[in-house]
């Protein structure tokens, strides 16, 4: 099936309006492109649920803390279009920066609390950029459902909270993290890893899986889990652990004694590439 590439907000709205008039429900899959099987899983989910699927591709400058990181972000529009065609996306919305931000933005969406912890503590302004652009995309597409991956667990929690707090008429649907056979979570940023960094990066899912197994085996002490995790990274000079936290799955607040379901989330640097991952436990 043909995927239509649309660059203007007006053009996108016209397509969505036509689909609605045909009685179709609208699904939206926001992405920053360099599409991989994790994105494809979200698209497949949307395709299964909705009559009309919009994928969006916008590398949102507002959510990057550093210009260099924005410039390094992988881009592969033609390959992304091919993925969208294969997966049956109806419209790929690819706005230019000037379409999304024709003037300097003066209005922002801030979700307090949830954004102060985990990645938010290390990437000031990042989540404000995410929530602001997702709010804009939700207002542009006006989908019945929007799809987000558990890979970015904090992002998912923050967006769910924004939708709830602001009564947005959209259902947020999440999908499990898609991994390489060896356990590394798929990420567009993996393309920036050298072969050595790619090998070292495995410590991230391995430390998380080890912590998950320890909780399943009865470990209740978060500090002990963090210490055990640190040892995985001590063995990998190419990987620098930024945080390894055991948090409440909803509030994202640190848990010291595990008494119920938790989320174990971590971030690590391989050279200039920042990797994140998380698992459920408890
Ligand atoms: P991104 O293009 O990295 O901004 O991601 C777009 C969407 O795809 C987000 O909702 C991510 O959580 C989701 N995503 C990214 N990687 C994965 C993965 N490995 N498995 C599942 N979803 C993912």
pLDDT one-digit tens code per residue, 257-280: 999 999 999 999 999 999 999 999
Query: What domains appear along the chain, each with residue ranges and CATH number?
Result: 4-175 (3.40.50.620), 188-281 (3.30.1300.10)
DSSP conformation class of 177: P
Is residue 270 within 8 Å of residue 193, measured between CB atoms?
Answer: yes
Cα 224 to ligand 1 centre (Å): 30
Cα(181)–Cα(8) distance, rounded to whole angstroms? 38
Look up 126 and say whether it is catalytic. Answer: no
List pLDDT tens digits, range 74-131. 999 999 999 999 999 999 999 999 999 999 999 999 999 999 999 999 999 999 999 9
pLDDT at 86: 98
Rg (CA), the chain: 19
Residue 65 has pLDDT above 90, yes or no: no
225 lines ligand 1 (CB under 6 A): no
* pTM for the full predicted model: 0.98
Cα 155 to ligand 1 centre (Å): 10
- Token duo for residue 17: 């309006």
38 lines ligand 1 (CB under 6 A): yes
Q: Is the dihedral of CA 248, 254, 260, 261 positive or negative?
A: positive
- Token duo for residue 85: 């065609």
Cα(83)–Cα(36) distance, rounded to whole angstroms? 8
């Amino acid at each position: 099936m043909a995927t239509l590439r649309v660059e203007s907000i007006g053009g996108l709205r016209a397509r969505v309006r036509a689909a609605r008039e045909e009685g179709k429900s609208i699904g939206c899959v926001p992405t920053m492109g360099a599409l991989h099987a994790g994105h494809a899983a979200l698209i497949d989910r949307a395709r299964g649920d909705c009559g009309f699927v919009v994928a969006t591709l916008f590398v949102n400058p507002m959510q990057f803390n550093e210009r260099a990181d924005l410039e390094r972000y992988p881009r592969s529009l033609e390959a992304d279009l091919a993925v969208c065609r294969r997966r049956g996306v109806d419209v790929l919305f690819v706005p230019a920066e000037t379409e999304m931000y024709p003037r300097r933005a003066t209005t922002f969406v801030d979700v307090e609390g949830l954004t102060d912890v985990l990645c938010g503590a290390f990437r000031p302004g990042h989540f404000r950029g995410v929530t602001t652009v997702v709010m804009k995309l939700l207002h542009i597409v006006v989908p019945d459902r929007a799809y987000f991956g558990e890979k970015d667990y904090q992002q998912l929690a923050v967006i769910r909270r924004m939708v709830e707090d602001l009564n947005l008429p959209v259902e947020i649907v999440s999908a499990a993290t898609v991994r390489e056979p060896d356990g590394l979570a798929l990420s567009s940023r993996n393309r920036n890893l050298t072969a050595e960094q790619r090998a070292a990066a495995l410590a991230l899912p391995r430390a998380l899986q080890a912590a998950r197994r320890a909780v399943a085996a009865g470990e209740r002490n978060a500090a002990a889990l963090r210490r055990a995790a640190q040892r995985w990274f001590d063995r990998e000079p190419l990987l620098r652990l930024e945080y390894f936290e055991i948090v409440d799955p909803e509030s994202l607040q640190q848990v010291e004694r595990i008494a119920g379901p938790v989320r174990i989330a971590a971030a690590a640097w391989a050279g200039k590439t920042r990797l994140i991952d998380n698992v459920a436990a408890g």
